[in-house]
A and B are shown apart, each in its own frame.
Chain A
Amino acid sequence: MIKQMKNYYSYLFLLPAGLVFTIFFLIPAISSLFFSLTRWTLTDWTYIGLENFRMFFSEDSLRIGFQNTFLYAFLTCGLKVVFGLALGVYLTSEIRTKNYLRAVVFFPNLISTIAVGITFNSLMHPSKGAINRGLMFIGITGPDWLGNTKLALLSVINVDVWKGVGIATVIFIAGISSIPTQYYEALSIDGGNRFDKFRHITLPLVRPAMNSVIILALIGGLRTFDLIWSMTKGGPGFTTDLLASIIYKQYSSGFFGLSTAGNVFLFILVSVIAFPIYKYLNSREVDL
């Protein structure tokens, strides 16, 4: 039976998807490896070796993109894990408003990033914004959240977490809900308190959910563009530029080769970080 079945599961079914993926994703991705080594006008190119990549390391305005991309990805990821887990535990506890609160925490995911950026741009306005007005009310003079070179990136990171923590939360909720209640009951009989329950049952058994959150947040954070673009455009100066915004800036100034080199850097960075973490995390899952 199995042998004959092969004829029914024809590889022809893979063809449409495979074609679209190859033409619109794979071919550009592979050709980027070549075009990153050129000075490129889209119609004409000159081979210049690793010049574009050297430029990325020698220009401060480009190098900063690396640091920021790392910082952005790891901080948003860490904060989403911490807050997502805390909210997940809270929203699976015995409270009556949990369905309503889940919906509230989740809703920002459905708003466009540009709209979120616009909203927080005005909430974070140094003199008129609601955040600094609130701080003034309790006697603190708030900083210029998006204009201060040291703070701007952190402010955007916080907005990213605000928008994205909902998805982390629902993943944690799904993970926590799948833990059998007998485990908790057994621990109660042995005299464990709420902290023990979290430390010895929830935390280890929520591992698969946490892995998903980490991977999703890291991949999303590394390639993020729209939030930073709608909030700071990489400014003040270059202090909040990420690799993705550098790719856009070089592209719109017509440096296509340089832009593509940035793209290749992003490929390398994402692969070097995401593939091993994916493999590592998937090998350490605790089975129920």
Chain B
Amino acid sequence: MISRTRRLLMEITGIISALVIFGIPFYFIINSAAKNPREASLMKMSAPEQFLLLDNIKEVLSTDKGVVLTAFKNSIMITLFSLLVLVLFCSMAGYVAQRRIGKATPVINFFILTGLILPPAIVPTIWLLMSLGIFKTMFSMVMIEVALSMSFSTLIYKGFMATIPREIDEAAIVDGSSSFRLYFQIIFPLLKPTTATIIVLSSVNIFNDFVNPLYFFPGKKNVTIQLTLYNFISKYHSNWNLLFADVVIITIPMLILFIFFNRKIIAGMSAGAIKA
């Protein structure tokens, strides 16, 4: 349809702009992370005299008795526990919210919309956690991450439930299945594609979360990966190479995730957003 030269021109423009707009920042991150401190502070684009990426990463990992590793462990635990609770609770909620249309439906929809739109109330949440005696614990951090991602996940499960025919439920009931067996043995396995989407999306969001751990998970022992990066901004103000080495370290898990689940992530994000 479009002439050949024109198409070629379009492709070249696209690739060049992508390289400039998106490529340069990435190149800059890795390049700076591989330099020595003096070179990195010049912020030049030129290649490093010596490629010190691994040395810099080692140095970051050994900083403050391995605070980055502790942070990694915390972030991964928060992410895993949150995912577990999120998948279990939201799939159940989405299931009944879609199947049972009744007086509760508008209330449920209103809560989902509220959770999607409103930000959390910061200080009152801290006050509540303190009154319950669970402030600065991993349990409360997990619960908050769950509460804040809940509306979105429930909405996606609810949307996907609509594509599962009710005849399946009826057949199971006729065969004498109990209500819990119907859900856990029949419905939940059918929700697998949505579960995969939610796992991928929520792990990105929770792993990269900075604001909530900043407020609800303070303290020396409770560091998360984003908090350490933030603290390193002032700690490493003259060692840009180490700061960028830390950026590289915390981006690697996301990069791996992206390489394997590229299509899943993109499809999930757009599908989720359109349903929302």
Give residues in A with beta carbon < 8 Å to B.
1, 4-11, 13-14, 16-18, 20-21, 23-29, 31-32, 35, 40, 42, 90, 93-97, 101-115, 118-120, 122-123, 125, 128-130, 133, 162, 167, 170-171, 173-175, 208-209, 212-213, 215-216, 219, 223, 225-226, 230, 244, 247-248, 251, 256, 259-260, 263-264, 266-267, 270-271, 274-275, 278
Instruction: Let me know if B147 and A24 touch, CB within 8 A.
Output: yes
CB-CB under 8 A for A260 and B124, given A20-B146, A110-B204, A226-B211: yes
B247 and A118 form a contact (CB under 8 A): yes
The answer to whether B14 touches A35, judged by C-beta atoms less than 8 angstroms apart, is no
Evaluate whether A10 and B179 lie within 8 angstroms (CB atoms) in the complex, with A29-B121, A97-B14, A170-B270 already known: yes
CA A174 to CA B108, docked complex, whole Å: 28
**Cβ proximity bits B191-233 to A, threshold 8 Å, 1 near / 0 not:** 0000000000000100010110011000000000110011001
- State the CA gap A267–B144 with chains docked (Å): 18
Q: How far is the CB of B108 from chain A (nearest CB, A)?
A: 7
Question: 5 new A-B pairs (CB below 8 Å) besides A93-B10, A130-B43?
Answer: A10-B179, A20-B85, A29-B118, A42-B123, A96-B11
Please state if B117 and A119 are interface contacts (CB–CB under 8 Å): no
For residue B254, CB closer than 8 A to chain A, the reply is yes
Residues of B within 8 A of A35 (CB): 123-124, 127
Note all chain A residues with C-beta closer than 8 A to B210: 112-114, 226, 230
**B88 beta carbon closer than 8 Å to chain A:** yes
Q: Is the CB of B273 within 8 A of A167?
A: yes
Contacts of A14 in B (CB 8 A): 92-93, 96-97, 104, 108
Contact A25-B96, Cβ < 8 Å, known A11-B104, A271-B117: no
Complex Cα–Cα for A259 and B127 (A): 13
Prevailing SS type, chain B contact patch: helix
- Given known contacts A18-B93, A212-B274, is B117 in contact with A42 (CB within 8 Å)? no
List 6 tightest A-B contacts by C-beta distance, closest first. A24-B147, A32-B121, A17-B93, A9-B100, A28-B124, A28-B125
Taking beta carbons and an 8 Å cutoff, which residues of B are in contact with A? 1-2, 7, 10-11, 14-15, 18, 21-26, 28-29, 32, 42-45, 85, 88-90, 92-93, 95-97, 99-100, 102, 104, 108, 111, 113, 115-128, 130, 140, 143-144, 146-148, 150-151, 154, 169-170, 173, 179, 182-183, 204, 208, 210-211, 214-215, 225-226, 229-230, 233, 240, 243-244, 247, 250-251, 254-255, 257-258, 262, 265-267, 269-271, 273-274, 276
In the bound complex, CA of A215 to CA of B273 (Å): 9
Q: Which B residues are CB-close (under 8 A) to A133?
A: 45
The answer to whether B226 and A21 have CB atoms under 8 Å apart is: no
Chain B residues whose C-beta falls within 8 Å of the C-beta of A31 in the assembled complex: 121, 124, 127-128
Question: Hey, which chain A residues are within 8 Å of B214, CB to CB?
Answer: 248
In the complex, residue of chain A having the shortest beta-carbon distance to the beta carbon of B100 = A9
> What are the residues of chain A within 8 A of B24 when measuring CB–CB?
123, 130
B150 partner residues in chain A, CB cutoff 8 A: 17, 20-21, 25
Q: Chain A residues with Cβ under 8 A from B42's Cβ?
A: 128
